[in-house]
């Protein structure tokens, strides 16, 4: 197992090299000049323009810039934002935790409600509650995030004044409710449908019949034997979704004015603030790799037949 984990961690190196290289090439190819975006619309002296390019190292050939960046990366230096003059590390340290907290809140809703709804509609297949849940989840999957967010803001924030409309405020739980519900809505529906399908599949298996015949209660059969086995694809989905949510829920962050990393990177792309884009993407890669690893490890827990790092005899 340890070998497996170490091997997986080392796998991040080619991924990182590939992604940073790709980003460098892309940024070189797409139109847009960071110096122009930095100095504003008003004309500046061409000598001064060249000087700033030089200071930012943009006058060097792109492969030199890339090697230079890799060298800094080895020293854990993500560089300085062109636009803000602040260290990228500092900006990301400030923003990532906010995105992670919001993502965790959303995942919590996904897990609790997604699984519960999925199980109920699978057990009570074709009942009224199953139809309602299936219909609602179909609608939720299709609803655009900004629209749902706006509706929740108007209803709970403006009309009822129950919940804060935007921002993180003092960081208390109430500030998380509307953005995490918005963020989770689509995924709750998706998880519910996934669980439902998987449960229907699993509940038809022989071992479930065996479990019933052993005299176990329905509760025990559903949760211990049914759900646990139905969860593998669900865990994969949730793990990847968590990665995606942490990497930035740009729309939700925009609508709820959430100081997260997604919006930060989005703006950095528009401003051609390369160090922020690269730094943000690198951190995201690590998060993804780590979460993927967690997901893989959790398979072993969910399905005892799965073992890593040992050749079958």
Partner 1 sequence: MDSLVDFDPLTSKLVPAVAESWRSNDDFTVWTFKLRRGTKFHNGREVKAEDFVYAWNRIASPKTDPPSDIAYHLAPVKGFDEVQEGKAETMSGLKALDDYTLEVSLKFSFPDFVYVVGHPALAPVPKEEVEKDPKAFGLRPVGNGPFMMAEPWKPDQYIKLKRFDDYYGDKPYLDGVEFKIFKDEQTAFLEFQAGKLDFSENIPSGQIETSVEKWGESKDGYTAQPGKQVLLGGEMATYYLNLNNQNKYLKNPKLRAAISLAINREAIAKTIYEGVRKPATGLIPPGTVGFRPDQGKYCRYDLEEAKKLLAEAGYPDGKGLPVFELTFNAGAGHEDVMQAVQANLKDIGINCELKGMEWSQFIDYRQKGKHQIARDGWIMDYPIMDNMLYPLFYSKNIGMDNTSRYSNPEVDKLLDQARKEPDEKKRIELYQRVEKLILDDAAVVPVVFYAHRAVAQKWVRGLVYSPMGLVHLEKVWLSK
Q: Which residues bind partner 1 (CB under 8 A)?
A: 30-34, 36-45, 47-48, 51-52, 55, 80, 82-86, 91, 94, 150, 153-154, 157-158, 161, 165-168, 253-257, 259, 263-264, 270, 272
The Cα–Cα gap between 120 and 114 comes to 10
Q: What is the DSSP string of 160-207?
A: S--S--SS-TTS-THHHHHHHHHHHHHHHHHHHHHHHHHHHHHTTSHH
User: Least distance in Å: CB of 52 to partner 1?
Assistant: 6
Residue 185 or 188: the one with the smaller Cβ distance to partner 1 is 185
User: Least distance in Å: CB of 159 to partner 1?
Assistant: 9
Degrees to nearest 5, angle at CA 46 with 43 and 52: 95
Residue 210 or 257: the one with the smaller Cβ distance to partner 1 is 257
User: Least distance in Å: CB of 43 to partner 1?
Assistant: 4
User: Least distance in Å: CB of 217 to partner 1?
Assistant: 49
14: nearest Cα among 70, 91, 94, 81? 70
Distances (CA, A) of 73 to 80, 143, 205, 232: 12, 40, 51, 36
User: Least distance in Å: CB of 85 to partner 1?
Assistant: 4
End-to-end CA distance of the chain: 16
Residue 48 or 63: the one with the smaller Cβ distance to partner 1 is 48
Residue 171 or 304: the one with the smaller Cβ distance to partner 1 is 171
What are the backbone angles phi and psi of residue 61, rounded to the nearest 5°? -60, 150
Residue 46 or 61: the one with the smaller Cβ distance to partner 1 is 46
């Amino acid at each position: 197992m340890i070998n497996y984990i170490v091997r997986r961690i080392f796998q991040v190196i080619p991924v990182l090299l590939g992604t940073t290289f790709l980003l460098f090439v892309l940024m070189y190819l797409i139109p847009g000049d960071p110096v122009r975006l930095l100095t504003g619309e008003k004309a500046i002296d061409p000598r001064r323009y060249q000087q700033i390019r030089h200071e930012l190292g943009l006058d060097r050939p792109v492969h030199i810039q890339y090697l230079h960046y890799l060298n800094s990366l080895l020293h854990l230096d993500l560089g300085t934002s062109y636009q803000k003059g602040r260290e990228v590390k500092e900006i990301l340290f400030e923003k990532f935790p906010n995105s992670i907290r919001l993502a965790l809140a959303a995942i919590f809703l996904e897990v609790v409600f997604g699984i519960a709804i999925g199980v109920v509609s699978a057990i009570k297949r074709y009942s009224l509650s199953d139809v309602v849940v299936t219909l609602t989840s179909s609608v939720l999957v299709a609803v655009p995030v900004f629209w749902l967010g706006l509706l929740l803001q108007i209803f709970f924030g403006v009309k009822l004044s129950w919940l804060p409309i935007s921002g993180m405020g003092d960081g208390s739980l109430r500030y998380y409710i509307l953005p995490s519900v918005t963020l989770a809505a689509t995924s709750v529906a998706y998880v519910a449908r996934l669980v439902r399908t998987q449960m229907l599949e699993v509940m038809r298996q022989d071992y479930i019949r065996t479990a019933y015949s052993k005299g176990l209660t329905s509760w025990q059969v559903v949760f211990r034997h049914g759900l646990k086995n139905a969860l593998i694809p669900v865990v994969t989905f949730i793990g990847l979704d968590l990665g995606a949510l942490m990497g930035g829920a740009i729309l939700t962050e925009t609508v709820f004015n959430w100081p997260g990393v997604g919006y930060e990177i989005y703006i950095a792309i528009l401003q051609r603030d390369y160090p922020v884009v690269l730094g943000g993407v690198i951190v995201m890669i690590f998060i993804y790799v780590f979460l993927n690893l967690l997901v893989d490890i959790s398979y072993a827990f969910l399905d005892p037949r799965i073992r890593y790092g040992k050749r079958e005899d």
